[in-house]
């Protein structure tokens, strides 16, 4: 029996690191309920303090001056007018900045999270248009901004690599693609493609995208003797601390970072040059400094998603099975980072084909270092792959969902591993019924409502399951029956604090109002980054270990006078504010009683997320089916998304309310990817030309219809709590679903994002 045939009950096996039974998995009351976010009231009342809102005595404010050439060196730098301006405390340039080591480039060290390996304001060199060349510190933000405008810089320009098309011609293979090889081949796909009776061979293009979280990047820093305190907007607390320690040659323990609230990250909230510049400026000024990037600074200083050119070729037989699947292409990157956009990842795992070839190359461009941006790779990779799947379905005369059913694999197509749980076809079936897919007209352009052409499209959503080892959680249980969970995890609005309050409450048999969740501080047990949709699984695995250790200590403290005397860990469960025998309601003792008799006010234990051995034996991914209906004006080409539904298979859903919010947020971001978002990069000088939300168009209310979200809620037996990550999958497949709906409405295939009306005229 495959997982596609199993019932939810048959797939609900308890997860434990060693494959044994979990004694604290017992009675679940909070998990699976739609508990509102516990940080919501604080944010609504304005009481949640973000990095740019932290008060400090004698706080000074900083502003950046950035370069206007792509490559070369500073020729002259005149700061006299800025230094003489009212309120100015300091003007820092490469001439007076403290000596700093280059940050470790991303993926070169297990803990490194630096976005770029370049020296930061250490010499006159310029590496991209927008690189900071001066920091002005003043008594007020307005004074700093004004003085920054008075800094005069001239440059010696050098030839720069700015044309993506020319850079493709001399592209290269990256060393790895997030730990996977850049090229994977099973069989001779190109020959199988040529011999297939049905073939398509297409090129798809996606543009640059810039991070535009509601909270721009900011840091408030000060020195206390040789110790450093930061209030930061980060999604990687300990990675940021590690990187800062390396740059300044410090002991990590002398750096404390607070980041309890982050107003959106999506991959960008890590250590960038503004961190190091603010720290250096605070050292020179001898007082606290706040550096809050303007929206324009975010576009120029913080990397985003990079442009891609992708080839997808499919060879099919008459029966609708694939003889060949080819997905190759190039993404722009810089030589001073290591973040290739892994657009071929979906093609490695989604569909059965006799032969497969995937290949990724990078083209080196002189630009701000690109970085992770919600479902990096998968978001744009699914656009190309899923549009090609739709095109082939048309060539075969098959319904797009039926075609996907015929190429559903039994095992992972490239690794050969069995799937831990895969309910993609159920997600498609559930979504099709709910969306009314049967009403779709197969012939493009067949449905019209006045001047509006109406069409439907689908696409597969997918994102890998990640769980990071090494994250630690401390749980302290008090005599008053309250539990405190302490972990340096992150809350960026996705509901981490809420969900894991529910998790620990259930694991300890407490109500959620008896659990306090402490997070966002490097003084707490070290944790991994909030990225790769990994935080929930990692935290759940660490909490599993911590609660088991806590149970063992409680049984030891209970002693021989307890109703629990003689019971082993496997024989008890947490319930009703205490521990009880699994087979007897009478054998029970409350936590308060255990601690009281032992003369203890509290008991605590720590747990660490073990190495994720499940990923070594199984192919683990989340899946979804994205359904879109569009209306395209026959005269103007205007596109309106009129309906959207996401049907997801992400294992067990721990909190339907926060999960649905995550899915909808990803879908909305996907609508921006499909229809509006494009960072305009001037290939003459490397300048970003639309660095504001007035010109970089993210979706607004009128662009977004009501979004319906459903999920299978079938636990993955190999994942902690049966849950896989959900933070990033929502954006995947959306671009293709929109493009496929546009084709169904108009008969036009748009293979380059965004789908703007000029491409339909």
Instruction: Identify the CATH number of the domain in which residue 279 sits.
Output: 3.90.1170.50
Query: Which runs of E-coded beta strand occur in 250-372?
Result: 255-258, 289-292, 308-316, 322-333, 353-364
pLDDT tens-digit map of 676-722: 999 999 999 999 999 999 999 999 999 999 999 999 999 999 999 99
Q: Same structural domain for residues 564 and 603?
A: yes
In a domain, 7, yes or no: no
In a domain, 319, yes or no: yes
How many whole angstroms separate alpha carbon 292 and alpha carbon 613? 41
pLDDT tens-digit map of 246-260: 999 999 999 999 999
Res 29 pLDDT > 90: no
Residue 728: C-alpha distances to residues 20, 160, 214, 303, 625 (Å): 30, 34, 17, 18, 14
In a domain, 125, yes or no: yes
Per-residue model confidence (pLDDT) at position 35? 95
520 or 24, greater pLDDT: 520
How many whole angstroms separate alpha carbon 731 and alpha carbon 662? 10
How many whole angstroms separate alpha carbon 206 and alpha carbon 613? 35
CA neighbor of 319 nearest in space, from 261, 258, 403, 203 = 403
Over residues 162-175, mean pLDDT: 96
In a domain, 78, yes or no: yes
Average pLDDT, the chain: 94
Band of residue 179 on the pLDDT scale cut at 50, 70, 90: confident
Res 25 pLDDT > 80: no
Band of residue 8 on the pLDDT scale cut at 50, 70, 90: very low
Res 109 pLDDT > 90: no
Point out the catalytic residue in the list 309, 395, 728, 752: 728
231 or 616, greater pLDDT: 231
Per-residue model confidence (pLDDT) at position 104? 83
Over residues 174-201, mean pLDDT: 96
In a domain, 164, yes or no: no
In a domain, 168, yes or no: no
Q: Same structural domain for residues 385 and 492?
A: no
Over residues 468-493, mean pLDDT: 95
Residue 429, C-beta contacts closer than 8 angstroms, at least 6 positions apart: none
Q: Same structural domain for residues 480 and 567?
A: yes
Q: At what angle do helices 378-396 and 656-675 cross, to 10 degrees?
A: 70
Q: Same structural domain for residues 237 and 256?
A: yes
Res 293 pLDDT > 60: yes
Of 559, 578, 611, at which residue does a domain stop?
611
Per-residue model confidence (pLDDT) at position 175? 87
In a domain, 37, yes or no: no
Per-residue model confidence (pLDDT) at position 15? 58
Domain of residue 316 covers 183-208+305-466+616-759
Q: Same structural domain for residues 461 and 506?
A: no
Band of residue 9 on the pLDDT scale cut at 50, 70, 90: very low
Long-range pairs, 250-255, Cβ under 8 A, ≥24: 250/226, 254/226, 254/227, 254/228, 255/227, 255/228, 255/230, 255/522
Q: Same structural domain for residues 146 and 200?
A: no
549 φ/ψ angles, rounded to the nearest 5 degrees: -65, -35
Q: At what angle do helices 237-248 and 273-285 cross, to 10 degrees?
A: 50
Q: Same structural domain for residues 330 and 254?
A: no
Per-residue model confidence (pLDDT) at position 556? 96
How many whole angstroms separate alpha carbon 370 and alpha carbon 116? 9
Q: Same structural domain for residues 598 and 739?
A: no
In a domain, 416, yes or no: yes
Over residues 7-23, mean pLDDT: 46
Residue 528 corresponds to which tokens in the numbers above?
């991994």
- Number of independent structural domains in the chain: 3
Q: At what angle do helices 734-746 and 378-396 cross, to 10 degrees?
A: 30
Band of residue 110 on the pLDDT scale cut at 50, 70, 90: low
Q: Same structural domain for residues 123 and 227?
A: yes
Res 732 pLDDT > 70: yes
Q: Which residue matches tokens 């979706």?
A: 699
| Residue 239 near residue 270 (C-beta atoms within 8 A) | yes
How many whole angstroms separate alpha carbon 755 and alpha carbon 287? 49
Res 538 pLDDT > 60: yes
Per-residue model confidence (pLDDT) at position 18? 53
Q: Same structural domain for residues 223 and 319?
A: no
Res 597 pLDDT > 50: yes
728 among known catalytic residues: yes
181 or 20, greater pLDDT: 181
Per-residue model confidence (pLDDT) at position 539? 95
Please list, residue by residue across 592-622, b when 16 or more beta carbons sit within 10 angstroms of its beta carbon and e when fewer do: ebbbeebeeeebbbbbbbeebebbeebbbbb
CA neighbor of 468 nearest in space, from 547, 534, 375 = 534
CA neighbor of 613 nearest in space, from 721, 473, 720 = 720
Per-residue model confidence (pLDDT) at position 178? 87
Res 61 pLDDT > 60: yes
pLDDT tens-digit map of 295-328: 999 999 999 999 999 999 999 999 999 999 999 9
* Sign of the Cα pseudo-torsion (523, 524, 525, 528, in order): negative
Of 611, 632, 647, at which residue does a domain stop?
611
Asked if the bond preceding 754 is cis, omega within 30° of 0, the reply is yes
CA neighbor of 716 nearest in space, from 556, 536, 453 = 536
Q: Same structural domain for residues 500 and 581?
A: yes
Over residues 736-745, mean pLDDT: 98
Q: Same structural domain for residues 461 and 473?
A: no
Instruction: Identify the CATH number of the domain in which residue 400 sits.
Output: 3.30.365.10
Over residues 43-63, mean pLDDT: 96
Q: Where are the alpha helices (DSSP H) in 559-698?
A: 591-598, 614-617, 656-675
Percent share of the chain, pLDDT over 70: 95
* ∠ Cα 100 106 108 (to 5°): 95
Of 582, 611, 640, at which residue does a domain stop?
611
Res 4 pLDDT > 60: no
Res 486 pLDDT > 70: yes
Over residues 657-682, mean pLDDT: 98
Over residues 2-7, mean pLDDT: 33
Residue 161 corresponds to which tokens in the numbers above?
């690599």
Over residues 160-179, mean pLDDT: 94
């Amino acid at each position: 029996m495959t997982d596609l045939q199993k019932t939810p009950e048959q797939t609900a096996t308890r997860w434990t690191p060693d494959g044994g039974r979990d004694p604290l998995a017992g009675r679940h009351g909070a998990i699976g309920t739609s508990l509102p976010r516990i940080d919501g009231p604080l944010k609504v009342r304005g009481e949640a303090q973000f990095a740019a809102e932290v008060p400090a005595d004698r706080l000074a404010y900083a502003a950046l001056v950035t370069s206007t050439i792509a490559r070369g060196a500073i020729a002259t730098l005149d700061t006299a007018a800025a230094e003489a301006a009212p309120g100015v405390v300091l003007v820092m340039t490469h001439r007076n900045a403290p000596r700093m080591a280059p940050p470790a480039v991303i993926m070169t060290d297990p803990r490194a999270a630096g976005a770029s390996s370049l020296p930061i304001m250490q010499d006159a060199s310029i590496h991209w248009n927008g690189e900071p060349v001066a920091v002005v510190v003043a008594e007020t933000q307005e004074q700093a901004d004004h003085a920054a405008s008075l800094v005069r810089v001239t440059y010696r320009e050098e030839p720069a690599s700015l044309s993506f098309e020319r850079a493709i011609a001399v592209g290269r293979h990256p060393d790895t693609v997030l730990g996977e090889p850049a090229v994977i081949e099973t069989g001779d796909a190109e020959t199988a493609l040529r011999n297939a009776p049905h073939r398509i061979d297409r090129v798809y293009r996606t543009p640059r995208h810039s991070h535009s979280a509601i909270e721009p990047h900011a840091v408030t820093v000060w020195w206390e003797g040789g110790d450093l305190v930061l209030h930061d907007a980060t999604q990687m607390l300990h990675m940021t601390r590690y990187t800062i320690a390396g740059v300044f040659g410090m002991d990590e323990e002398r750096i404390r970072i607070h980041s309890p609230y982050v107003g959106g990250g999506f991959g960008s909230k890590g250590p960038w040059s503004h961190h190091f510049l603010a720290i250096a400026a605070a050292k020179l000024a001898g007082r606290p400094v706040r550096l809050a990037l303007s929206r324009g600074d975010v576009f120029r200083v913080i990397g985003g998603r990079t442009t891609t050119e992708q080839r997808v070729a499919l060879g099919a037989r008459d029966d609708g099975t694939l003889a060949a699947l080819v997905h190759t292409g190039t993404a722009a990157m810089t030589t001073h980072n290591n973040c290739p956009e892994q657009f071929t990842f979906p093609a490695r795992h989604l569909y059965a084909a006799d032969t497969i070839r995937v290949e990724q190359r990078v083209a080196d461009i002189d630009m701000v270092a690109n970085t992770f941006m919600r479902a990096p790779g998968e978001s744009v990779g699914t656009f190309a792959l899923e549009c090609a799947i739709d095109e082939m379905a048309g060539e075969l005369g098959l319904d797009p969902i039926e075609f996907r059913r015929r190429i559903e694999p039994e095992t992972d197509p490239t690794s050969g591993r069995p799937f831990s749980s895969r309910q993609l076809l159920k997600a498609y079936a559930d979504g099709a019924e709910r969306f009314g897919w049967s009403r779709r007209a197969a012939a493009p352009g067949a449905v019209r409502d006045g001047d509006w052409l109406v069409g439907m499209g689908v696409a597969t959503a997918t994102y890998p399951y990640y769980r990071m080892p090494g994250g630690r959680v401390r749980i302290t249980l008090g005599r008053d029956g309250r539990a405190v969970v302490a972990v340096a995890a992150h809350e960026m609005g996705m509901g981490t604090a809420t969900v894991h309050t529910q998790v620990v409450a259930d694991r300890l048999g407490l109500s959620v109002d008896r659990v306090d969740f402490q997070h966002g501080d490097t003084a707490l047990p070290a944790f991994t980054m909030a990225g790769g949709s990994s935080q929930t699984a990692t935290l759940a695995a660490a909490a599993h270990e911590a609660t088991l250790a806590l149970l063992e200590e409680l049984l030891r403290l209970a002693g021989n006078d307890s109703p629990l005397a003689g019971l082993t860990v496997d024989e008890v469960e947490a319930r009703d504010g205490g521990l009880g025998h699994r087979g007897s309601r009478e054998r029970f003792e409350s936590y308060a009683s255990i601690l009281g008799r032992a003369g203890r006010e509290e008991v605590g234990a720590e747990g660490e997320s073990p190495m994720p051995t499940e990923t070594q034996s199984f192919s683990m991914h989340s899946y979804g089916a994205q359904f879109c209906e569009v209306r395209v004006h026959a005269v103007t080409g205007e596109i309106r998304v009129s309906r959207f539904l996401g049907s997801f298979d992400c294992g067990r859903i721990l909190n339907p309310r926060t999960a649905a919010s995550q899915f909808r947020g990803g879908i909305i971001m996907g609508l921006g990817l499909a229809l509006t978002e494009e960072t305009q990069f001037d290939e003459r000088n490397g300048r970003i030309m639309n660095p504001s939300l007035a010109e970089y168009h993210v979706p607004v209310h009128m662009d977004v219809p009501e979004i319906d979200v459903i999920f299978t809620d079938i636990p993955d037996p190999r994942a902690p709590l049966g849950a896989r990550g959900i933070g990033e999958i929502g954006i995947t497949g959306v671009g293709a679903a929109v493009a496929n709906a546009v084709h169904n409405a108009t008969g036009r295939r748009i293979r380059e994002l965004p789908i703007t009306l000029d491409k339909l005229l």
